[in-house]
């Protein structure tokens, strides 16, 4: 019988995360303080992050030891299998080999716990009692609530009000893991109260929810803040995906020619590709492709400049490809990819030509998702389906050219929480949304010139 999965034992799980800062030809420009516009130092971050994570944020050491307690929680679902997509290959009639890493096999259904678990651990070690964080559709809030349960850490989640009302399942999952979930804007914070005073029906936004979580953390000494993407330490934690994949490819004597990953804030792309990027920097011939929605085309259409991470301008300024923090992307179903910029590391690598980027409209993404669901059996998350679409197009190109090729992508999560989007697609009600370059220009014009 032909094998479908390459598995590793827990003993074979990598014991260190990889920090690409040690190998980048050009390091990212330093983040700047939102007030002084001077480079941010560790002390600026200490009111909301533990020093251990701040040190990881600025570290240039290549390897970071994964604490034993984190390994023990990882072992609940890691190492994750590397799949050979034999049924998909057959359906496409391609000579290419398609592999994917399946990060949807943990109880939260996405790759996010790879970083929520160590973040919970380091905060607990630092004596922190509670984490405040935000969530849009609920994926990150789920991962943080899940992680909090293992370390006896309280978790407060500010969930964008419109999602809180429309997506009760994610809220219930967070509560089942012990998270306290508030519709944002809430009565808990000055930011929230002011927003409600101005408009009691304010539907909320991710920017507002971030501001509430940061305020909550900054004003309570026993409470810290946690972020699910963009930051360096988040990218480091996610490299467990790519490090495992390297071991798995080694086991079968293969190496990918090209890697596809969806890119929202960038931690998913970072996680699966950075260990391979190290080889690329050292001369190996491999293509690494970020796939984004045409409705929020940060890498393919954004400008490379300093911008804030949030709409409220509370975070440091970071050097990123950005559409402007006031740009509001259309309401596509891949909510995890609706961020106005990307991780500064990812942006620098893209700038240096080490990452390629492509963009697709959402109906094309769901065409690919459907092909995948009916061949591989897994209903993929809309975000992950961007990587699937990239891989399918590459496999069809290989077929045209009659080339054998090894294609690898990250299935960052399953789509069981996204079935309403599939219903729209199945019934022909899904439409492609349109990116408005004028709106981007307006948003970019509002940025400080640095």
Whichever of 211 and 362 has its CB closer to a copy of itself, that residue is 362
| Closest separation in Å from C-beta 379 to a copy of itself | 6
User: Residues in the site for a copy of itself, rule: CB under 8 A?
Assistant: 1-5, 7, 9-11, 68, 71-73, 75-76, 83, 87, 105-107, 109, 146, 149-150, 168-169, 172-173, 175-178, 370, 373-379, 414, 416-417, 419-420, 422-423, 426
Rounded CA gap, 218 and 175, in Å? 24
**For 152-224, where are the alpha helices, taking DSSP H only?**
161-166, 168-176, 190-198, 206-218
Report the candidate in 371, 370, 387 with the shortest Cα–Cα distance to residue 291: 387
Whichever of 112 and 414 has its CB closer to a copy of itself, that residue is 414
| Closest separation in Å from C-beta 167 to a copy of itself | 11
Strands 5-6 and 82-84: antiparallel
Rounded CA gap, 199 and 104, in Å? 38
Q: How far is CA 125 from the centre of its chain?
A: 25
Rounded CA gap, 54 and 210, in Å? 19
Residues 6+ apart with CB under 8 A from 441: none
| Closest separation in Å from C-beta 277 to a copy of itself | 28
Tokens standing for residue 403: 């080339």
Whichever of 121 and 146 has its CB closer to a copy of itself, that residue is 146
Q: In which residue are the tokens 């085309």 written?
A: 297
CB 304 within 8 A of CB 351: yes
| Closest separation in Å from C-beta 216 to a copy of itself | 22
| Closest separation in Å from C-beta 9 to a copy of itself | 6
Whichever of 213 and 421 has its CB closer to a copy of itself, that residue is 421
Whichever of 121 and 177 has its CB closer to a copy of itself, that residue is 177
Q: How far is CA 153 from the centre of its chain?
A: 23
| Closest separation in Å from C-beta 78 to a copy of itself | 9
Strands 154-160 and 180-184: parallel
Q: Does a cis peptide bond (omega within 30 degrees of 0) precede residue 185?
A: yes
Whichever of 158 and 366 has its CB closer to a copy of itself, that residue is 366
Q: Is the dihedral of CA 381, 386, 391, 397 positive or negative?
A: positive
Whichever of 93 and 200 has its CB closer to a copy of itself, that residue is 93
| Closest separation in Å from C-beta 240 to a copy of itself | 15
| Closest separation in Å from C-beta 5 to a copy of itself | 7
Q: Tell me how many degrees the CA angle 101-144-244 measures, rounded to the nearest 5.
A: 25
Whichever of 200 and 253 has its CB closer to a copy of itself, that residue is 253
Whichever of 21 and 421 has its CB closer to a copy of itself, that residue is 421
Tokens standing for residue 361: 């409209």
Q: Report phi then psi at 289, rounded to 5.
A: -120, 125
| Closest separation in Å from C-beta 335 to a copy of itself | 17
Report the candidate in 103, 102, 100 with the shortest Cα–Cα distance to residue 86: 100
Strands 223-225 and 130-135: parallel
């Amino acid at each position: 019988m032909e094998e479908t999965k390459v598995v590793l034992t827990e003993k074979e799980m990598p014991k260190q995360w990889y920090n690409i800062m040690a190998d980048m030809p050009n390091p990212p420009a330093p983040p700047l303080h939102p007030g002084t516009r001077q480079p941010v130092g560790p002390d600026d971050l200490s009111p909301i992050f533990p020093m251990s994570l701040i040190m990881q944020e600025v570290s240039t050491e290549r390897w970071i030891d994964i604490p034993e307690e984190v390994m023990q929680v990882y072992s609940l679902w890691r190492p994750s299998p590397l799949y050979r997509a034999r049924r998909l290959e057959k359906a496409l009639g391609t000579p290419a080999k398609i592999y994917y890493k399946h990060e949807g096999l943990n109880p939260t259904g996405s790759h996010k716990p790879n970083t929520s678990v160590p973040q919970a651990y380091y905060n607990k070690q630092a004596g922190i009692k509670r984490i405040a964080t935000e969530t849009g559709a609920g994926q990150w809030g789920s991962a943080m609530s899940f992680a909090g349960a293992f370390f006896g850490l309280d978790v407060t989640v500010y969930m964008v009000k419109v999602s809180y009302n429309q997506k009760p399942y994610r809220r219930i999952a967070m509560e089942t893991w012990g998270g306290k979930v508030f519709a944002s804007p809430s009565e808990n914070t000055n930011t929230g109260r002011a927003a409600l005073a101005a408009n009691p029906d304010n539907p909320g936004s991710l920017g507002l929810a971030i501001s509430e979580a940061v305020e909550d953390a900054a004003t309570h000494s026993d409470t810290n803040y946690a972020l699910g993407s963009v930051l360096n330490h988040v990218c480091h934690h996610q490299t467990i995906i790519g490090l495992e994949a390297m071991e798995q490819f080694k086991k079968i004597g293969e190496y990918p020619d090209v890697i596809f990953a969806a890119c929202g804030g960038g931690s998913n792309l970072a996680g699966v590709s950075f260990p391979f990027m190290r080889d690329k920097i050292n001369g190996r011939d491999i293509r690494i492709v970020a796939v984004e929605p045409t409705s929020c085309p940060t890498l393919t259409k954004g400008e490379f400049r300093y911008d804030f991470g949030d709409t409220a301008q509370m975070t440091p300024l970071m050097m990123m490809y950005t559409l402007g923090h006031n740009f509001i992307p259309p309401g596509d179903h891949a909510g995890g990819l609706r961020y106005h910029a990307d991780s500064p590391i990812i942006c620098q690598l893209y700038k240096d030509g080490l990452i390629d980027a492509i963009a697709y409209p959402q109906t094309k993404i769901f065409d690919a998702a459907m092909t995948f669901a009916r061949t591989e059996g897994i209903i993929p998350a809309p975000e992950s389906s961007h990587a699937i679409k990239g891989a399918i197009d590459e496999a069809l190109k290989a077929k045209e050219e009659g080339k054998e090729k090894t294609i690898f992508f990250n299935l960052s999560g399953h789509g069981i929480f996204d079935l309403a989007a599939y219903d729209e697609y199945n019934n022909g009600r899904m439409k492609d949304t349109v990116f408005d370059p004028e709106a981007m220009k307006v948003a970019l014009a509002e940025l400080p010139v640095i």
